Structure 1
Amino acid sequence: MLAGLDRPSAGKVTVSDQIVSGITKGVSFMFQADALLPWRSVVTNVSLGPIFNKVPQKDALEMARNWLRIVGLSGFEQHYPHQLSGGMRKRASLAAALINKPSILLMDEPFSALDVQTRSIMSNELLTLWERDRPTVLFVTHDLEEAIGLADKVVVITAGPGTVKAIFDIDLPRPRGALQEIRFQPRFLQLHQQIWEALRDEVQRTYARQGAPVAAKETIA
């Protein structure tokens, strides 16, 4: 709805105080699955955005090479997605999302399929890259630590139907630093407890609907 690809059943969606009535300009996506074309090399995948925006192919490829360098994929320009690890594919997807310098970046659990260590690294890299142009990021996640570590505002959604249950301002200073380190800070732990209090019932309700036994608090967390 924010991108203008769907319409709200009630109410309205605004971007920069303007009601969304068509396709919103300046929006990039990063999905759960890697949105990379398997028959194209990494560099030609990343160059697609500028090419669609009428940038000459030579210039688009140069832009793509620069972004691959920024995300740590220099030397892999001519590789294909199946030749990359999961973390490397996410870096390529992130470069493809950021190459057009979006004003809004929509991210749907982009790191959920990664192992814990790679996921933390990608979160840290996202924070570093965000500092370059500071787009508005709408980030969907089920990981509470990830939410607190990345966000300025955390919105807790009910299990279903999905409505806003609570909103928390994250007052951790920026630049944040490594997520692996700041998650032990007293304020981080305090925010974690406050948000978990709002989230706990929704997690238990989801488990109950799926027919699973309600787990202990430590297991759910």
Structure 2
Amino acid sequence: MASRNESASRAPADHADRAASRIEVTGLGKRFLTPKGEVFTALRDVTFTVEPGRFCAVVGPTGCGKSTTLSMVSGLDRPSEGSVKVGGREVSGITGGISFMFQTDALLPWKTVAGNVELGPLFRGVGKRQARTLARDWLRRVGLAGFEDHHPHQLSGGMRKRVAMAAALINEPRILLMDEPFGALDVQTKAIMQTELLGLWEQLRPSVLFITHDLDEAVALADRVVVMTSGPGTVKAVYEVDLPRPRGAVQDLRYEPHFLETQHRIWESLREEVQRAYALTAGADA
């Protein structure tokens, strides 16, 4: 396997049409009807861009519409107003060339590890033998060689996340959407998975839109952090993260002075929204 430095240096050449992975969210709004028939505004005038091959994290308090935004980029949902464009084309259905990694594993329990990972190539029309070869290669990349014939229930939580990551990346997507993929893991396993994600991302360089509640995670992984307000969600601020790439182990990165400075600067903006959202829910519960 190529080194991370080699992979990063050749990545732009591997993806000639990088403009196809540009994500543009403009004036995005989303409204729902509540069970009482009232209109609830989840998102209002959300605007940001993910440049080709860049890693963008979105942070904000619970209920600010982060996951709703992600669903509209993927084409699983449609906006009430505004637009989402991928590669310059407005999203009007399921967006091609995208992989989605959810908070839950989303693995088929009756299939083996290899059987889950090879589904993507099979759906694209790749032959069974080639798909199985690709699946085994990706399982090796995520450190699961020897576990191909296990079933999901026979794996730890971290191992299942590795399977999910292999399944998301095996098609070499131009865009990777991730909705709190490591949120349920313990701190140590989470740091390992974050480091592994960075290494794999350096090899493929898809555009990434990453939803998280964890500001440390956002700063460690991303090139850009979008801070959203408490509901209705809108973009409060966008911060560039200028930590050099390729980045080392996440658990070490968090002790570097520049990381701490960046994290503190973004937290000053995010903290107000977290406190506001908490006050609103506490008032509703009272």
TM-score exceeds 0.5: yes
Spell out the pairing of 1:116-195 with structure 2 (5 A cutoff). Answer: 116-195=187-266
What is the alpha-carbon distance in structure 2 between the residues aligned to residue 85 and residue 182 of structure 1?
A: 26
User: What 5-or-longer segments of structure 1 have no aligned partner?
Assistant: 213-221
> More strand per residue: 1 or 2?
2
Greater relative contact order (Cα < 8 A, sep 6+): 2
Q: Are residue 85 (structure 1) and residue 156 (structure 2) matched?
A: yes
What is the alpha-carbon distance in structure 2 between the residues aligned to residue 183 and residue 26 of structure 1?
A: 33
Residues 191-210 of structure 1: per-residue CA shift (max 9 Å, x gap): 11110010011111122122
Please state whether the residue corresponding to 2:279 is helix, strand or coil. Answer: helix
Please state whether the residue corresponding to 2:110 is helix, strand or coil. Answer: coil
User: What TM-score, normalized by structure 1, do the two folds share?
Assistant: 0.93
Aligned twin of 1:59: 130
After the TM superposition, list the runs of 4 or more consecutive aligned residues in structure 1 that deviate by more than 3 angstroms.
Answer: none
Opposite residue 78 of structure 1, the aligned amino acid is: D
Spell out the pairing of 1:69-108 with structure 2 (5 A cutoff). Answer: 69-108=140-179
1:186: how far off? Answer: 1.8
1:189: how far off? Answer: 1.1
Aligned twin of 1:44: 115
Aligned length: 212
Opposite residue 203 of structure 1, the aligned amino acid is: V
The worse-fitting range, judged by mean Cα deviation, of 203-212 and 170-179 is 203-212
Opposite residue 36 of structure 1, the aligned amino acid is: L
Residues 38-75 of structure 1: per-residue CA shift (max 9 Å, x gap): 00000000000000001111111111011001100011
1:9 to 68, 76, 80: 80
Please state whether the residue corresponding to 2:82 is helix, strand or coil. Answer: coil
Residues 137-170 of structure 1: per-residue CA shift (max 9 Å, x gap): 1100011110000000000111111111110000
User: What 5-or-longer segments of structure 2 have no aligned partner?
Assistant: 1-71
Opposite residue 132 of structure 1, the aligned amino acid is: Q
Opposite residue 74 of structure 1, the aligned amino acid is: A
What is the alpha-carbon distance in structure 1 between the residues aligned to residue 85 and residue 110 of structure 2?
A: 37
1:180: how far off? Answer: 1.2
Opposite residue 21 of structure 1, the aligned amino acid is: S
Please state whether the residue corresponding to 1:12 is helix, strand or coil. Answer: strand
Opposite residue 6 of structure 1, the aligned amino acid is: D
1:22: how far off? Answer: 2.8
Spell out the pairing of 1:19-38 with structure 2 (5 A cutoff). Answer: 19-38=90-109
Aligned twin of 2:272: 201
What is the alpha-carbon distance in structure 1 between the residues aligned to residue 263 and residue 276 of structure 2?
A: 20
Q: Tell me the C-alpha RMSD between the 2 structures.
A: 1.0
Residues 84-133 of structure 1: per-residue CA shift (max 9 Å, x gap): 00000000000000000000000000000000000000000000000111
Identity of aligned residues (%): 65
Please state whether the residue corresponding to 1:13 is helix, strand or coil. Answer: strand
